[in-house]
Amino acid sequence: MPSPRIAITGLGFVGAVGAHVSALEAALDQERSGLGDLTLFDSELSREYPVGQYRGDLRADFARLVRPLSAREAGRLSRSDLLALVAAAEALQMAALPDMARRNAGVYLGQSVCGTLSSESYYLDCAAQAASHGRASPSHLDRLFVHDGANSGDAIAREFSMGGPMASLMTACSSGANALGLAAARIASGQAQVMLAGGADSLSRIAFLGFASLGVMSPEGPRPFDAARKGMCVGEGAGMLVLESEAHARARQARVLAWLTGYGHSCDAHHLTAPHPEGLGAQAAMKQALADAGLAPSDIGFVSAHGTGTLDNDKVEALAIARVFSTRAVPVSSTKRYFGHTLAASGAIKAVLCVLALQRRRLWPNLGLQKAQDDSLDLVTQARPAPRLQHVLSNSFGFGGNNAALVFTAGDRP
């Protein structure tokens, strides 16, 4: 039996192409990548691999949307916190929730590296103090006591006085998608009427150098599903969505941007970093999402692929998609060349993109594709109109075989 459909009434976005859903939409329309040099921290590899770094001022963005932050407040917030807060502020502003609805709303946030960039800075400062003075100063240690390394969801709940259920989800690169799916399940069960859900992650040394050490980064940036692809690049950002029960959204006459109608998740139980060679977990997640939505594969008009640009991921995902959609080649595209792999934020940012695709009835191209790895997929190489687009599916696959798939259905027309 299909689950109750969940209304999406607000969207928020921050990423390498800008801070606002309109910035995302403009980059997609212009087919413009936000990849560039790493400037957040020094590394001998910072000129070798491009990254999807946000170049704006997050404190100024938050002040524009909500209020100015004092120096003391800003000092307690990590970069990941600020990314999440800015995207959350935009989503809540778009949804225009009444005060009581917001106070009862919950927050589910996907994260992975979280506030690691701040932790790294504190450690390096302490190490430098110890090297020059024999010990770290107490003021440096005090900063650690007020640093919530993995608590951006709590920062959102405090700032916007949201007293409903709150949780941080950490399933690697499927975290944001799982946060959305589990938040929707919370609403479907009747345990909540409104949830703010999504994902946020900032760049960090451990993520940048960690992926480089695995040999999966590409000096030319990602080229998802291309025969000559050489790897991925890391990015940072946040995607947040306001979810409501249908009854709650209709009672307050909110505009439904789209519906979250299906959710599936699975585990490969295969390897710490490599996907199952047959894509069994990926297939299972997609099939569960379709069943949850009460749809057949033939109902899906577009697949927003995880598509990192690595050799194994794209090969296995293409195989899994081809097997699930065995009777037809469904249009497929990856957005990783627009803003890099934003880790836990990836699935949530893709959810925002899926809502835009349904609203605009438009598919955006798979940037960087020159020659497809094979002919099993209908890869979108140029922007194309999709006047009959009604349902889309979004994949998010994380290390450890943590797989998630979401189905979105068209909502109220503008």
The residues annotated with a catalytic role in the active site are: 173, 306, 341
Q: Which helix (H) or strand (E) holds 395?
A: strand 391-398
Q: How many residues does the chain have?
A: 414
Question: Please, what sign has the CA dihedral across residues 393, 357, 12, 217?
Answer: positive
* Residue whose C-alpha is closest to residue 163's, from 110, 87, 114, 99: 99
Q: Token pair for residue 122? A: 């504190």
- Contact yes or no for 194/200 (Cβ under 8 A): no
- Contact yes or no for 195/13 (Cβ under 8 A): no
Whole-number Å distance between alpha carbons of 299 and 26: 28
DSSP letter assigned to residue 80: H
Outline where DSSP puts E strands in 232-367: 237-245, 258-267, 302-304, 331-333, 362-363
DSSP letter assigned to residue 377: S
* Residue whose C-alpha is closest to residue 88's, from 283, 267, 238: 238
Whole-number Å distance between alpha carbons of 130 and 136: 5
Whole-number Å distance between alpha carbons of 239 and 294: 26
Question: Please, what sign has the CA dihedral across residues 209, 213, 217, 218?
Answer: positive
Distances (CA, A) of 362 to 8, 174, 200, 297, 358: 19, 25, 26, 19, 7
* Residue whose C-alpha is closest to residue 412's, from 353, 359, 357, 363: 359
Whole-number Å distance between alpha carbons of 396 and 346: 7
Question: Please, what sign has the CA dihedral across residues 202, 219, 35, 402?
Answer: negative
Q: Which residue bears the tokens 């899906």?
A: 300
Q: Give residues with Cβ within 8 angstroms of 340, minimum separation 6.
A: 16, 34, 35, 50, 51, 52, 222, 232, 233, 234, 235, 236
* Residue whose C-alpha is closest to residue 407's, from 237, 270, 293: 293
